Structure 1
């Protein structure tokens, strides 16, 4: 990646003039025409290199917490642009600040890890790593945030960034766990808002899927182990009928949970594996059930382990068996803050067009971006990656997944405009800071 040129680009002179003449408390000084011109000029130079960068990552995918080559590629590109990236303590993942630290701070997050599956595409940039592929678009996410960072570095060099933008290149989203590592390293300390884009093959390039409130679900794993004395199937009354008890647990827990929480939380327990016994005429002494809990409501998610333990103990006691619950937290629901969603909407309208923002449904899939939104406001949006008019639709987490690479430039435009909108919005004085329409001393 070449270093972006410094200095004032076409259109910036009007921005600088407006900035100097702007009354306190007025909206952001940059206008859509000027920003469009800047982004057009930047992408005219950088788009081919951004596509090449994405293809390089696609050819060399790395699993969570093993993204060493990916991390180095990011560090090299940011360093070449005059920035000072720092690698996370475990050796993968990058944090990089752009702009002055005396104003608001906005974070842009990209996940950098790949999936453990075969790349089935016949393309020049097909994965060269057997059994590992970028089948969820993380290579695209990384490239878009990198490109946005290079553009904003150019803005900062021209003195036109009204605050700080923090780039978060997060490892291990699929594991999950990488978001917690970023947070432990101070990644969101002092951050006012955080934004992210995620590829969506159901949406066409040039569109941005938006939703306020829950957009993805919490996803936890549960492991239930049931034990009893065992015995002969001819005399179930002299022992504990473990298989019958396990069947009751498997059927009654999901039903009981659905009656203990608000239906709007969409809390669901679904079993994926149930096993007990080895022969037809012997009652076994142990059995297991494994499944997932998904939920769209943060409050219900926090209460789920305690509720499940109480219900499990009640059912097990009725059939005289012991039941142990291992409840493994995954990720919280991703709950988009409405103001941040509106910033995405305004930015997409400004730099893509009025038809760019489209509604998007909730998903019960998990996304560890939710950890950030537990602490600070922000939003996750779905970026269209399907070629307009194409009949081909590639789902996520499939070996044939691919994108129309023109989505990269769209993502850079949206992220850059959203970051700038958020920075200028957070610089506005609050009602407590103004008296009679003027900023108080």
Structure 2
């Protein structure tokens, strides 16, 4: 078989799927239309389908010979953003947009499913397509795992790909080990005692206490963490009071912690609460802390990355793009990689000539559709390589 020609023969379909999804974006756990389209197509191509995690769709392609199982994950949800692109396939849903490329991920996974379904006789094992809901903050990976997506049959390896506007169009971004950070969010409520602004001695000021906490938390990074370690602690909101002459009784602080090291993550989580407890106690206040461990580090298996590197070099010589530094952004694909071996790679879409330069989550974000077929081919080639090598 000539896989490249097979993929090229359905390139227009892949683009049409992507544009259709782009016109009809759906927010996390609301991907009903997208899921229905995905499920109908997978069924048409002979895959066994199952619904999981409310709007997730799982498609199982069984090879003619027994073997291992590799999973392909594609996220489907959109963002609450109003699109500013002037294109024929512009979002028709006010305040919703595929500004993170999940429309492309879904379309490419469908393309791979269609192509591979024609060659199940070449598969010594199974391919499980995981069309995941709610990657954008709502956490779709965890409920899928809890509901058994990695079982029956047991998934031995998993592959994920994300379009990347920071990588040149057509290049494949590869990095062994950590490629994206863990993400923890916290909400701190400081409970003071309100009073007149002219009589601060009669109250407990949550604003000054909060200011002390924020400065102390920043010193955790600059004075307790080795300079060569990666950690980011950012405060995104500090809310308190609404009058110039009233010291309020409460303040609210919202923040996020990003790390690339699970041990460092645990250390900083404990230290954050210690700092908050000690500062509030010293300044005669109480507090409530809601700390949410959102997503783990996304870390690719070096051996799996080497396999992809070899496959891609054979496909498109010179298109490997080795990434030197991981991103401190986060991705819930890390939950899958905590359970099974696999890799998370980037598909470059940055094209200066076409004006495709806008970052993810930007209202003018768009992709270079010319690279979609390369993404589909890469998925297919890695599936065949993995299953055939295991044979």
**Distance in 1 between residues matched to 2:193 and 2:352, nearest whole Å:** 62
Partner of residue 269, structure 1: 233
| Residues paired across the two proteins, number | 387
Q: TM-score, normalised by structure 1?
A: 0.83
Q: Say which SS state the counterpart of residue 305 (structure 1) adopts.
A: helix
Change (3 A) 1:211 1:339: same
Greater displacement, 272-281 / 305-314: 272-281
Matched, 1:61 2:17: no
SS in 2 for 1:374: helix
Q: Give me the whole-angstrom Cα distance separating, in 1, the residues matched to 2:328 and 2:53.
A: 32
Residue deviations 1:140-191, cap 9 Å, x none? 00111111112221221xx211211111100000133110122122112211
1:24-423 correspondence runs (5 A): 38-90=2-54, 92-100=55-63, 102-156=66-120, 159-189=121-151, 190-353=154-317, 355-360=318-323, 361-387=325-351, 389-390=353-354, 392-423=356-387
Aligned partner of residue 103 in structure 1, secondary structure: strand
The answer as to whether partners of 1:176 and 1:330 remain within 8 angstroms in 2 is no
Distance 1:96 1:259 in 2: 49
Q: Secondary structure at the match of 1:226?
A: strand
**Following TM superposition, by how much is the alpha carbon of 1:75 offset from its aligned partner in structure 2, in angstroms?**
1.0
More contact order relative to length (CA 8 Å, sep ≥ 6): 2
**Structure 1 residue 271: Cα displacement:** 0.8
Deviation at 1:384, TM superposition (A): 0.9
* Distance (whole Å) between structure 2 residues aligned to residue 128 and residue 280 of structure 1: 44
Match of 1:439 in 2: none
Following the alignment from structure 2 to structure 1, what is the Cα–Cα distance between the partners of residues 7 and 335? 32
CA distance 1:406–1:188, change in 2 (3 Å): same
SS in 1 for 2:369: coil
Superposition TM-score, scaled by structure 2 size: 0.93
Q: CA RMSD in A?
A: 1.9
Quote how far apart the aligned CAs of 1:265 are: 4.1
Aligned equivalents of 1:265 and 1:151: distance in 2? 43
Residues 108, 145 of structure 1: 8 Å contact kept: yes
Q: CA deviation at 1:388?
A: 6.8
Task: State which structure, 1 or 2, has the greater radius of gyration over its C-alpha atoms.
Answer: 1
163-172 or 313-322, which deviates more: 313-322
Distance, in Å, in 1 between the alignment partners of 2:266 and 2:18 is: 38
Q: Which runs of 5+ in 1 are unaligned?
A: 1-8, 10-37, 428-441
Distance in 2 (CA, whole Å) between partners of 1:402 and 1:323 is 44
SS at match of 2:314: helix
Answer yes or no: is the 8 Å Cα contact 2:53–2:144 preserved in 1.
no
**Pair 1:212–1:44, CA change in 2 (3 A):** closer
For structure 1, which segment, 135-144 or 381-390, has the greater mean C-alpha deviation from structure 2 after superposition? 381-390
Residues in 2 aligned to 1:408 and 1:378: alpha-carbon distance in whole angstroms:
21
Shift of residue 89, structure 1, vs aligned partner: 4.8
Which protein has the bigger strand share? 2
Query: Any stretches of 5+ residues in structure 2 without a counterpart?
Result: none
* Cα offset, 1:198, TM superposition: 0.4
* 1:300-341, Cα deviation, whole Å (9 max, x unpaired): 224443221112111212212112211122211211121111
Q: What is the deviation of 1:133?
A: 0.9
Residue 234 of structure 1, CA deviation: 4.5
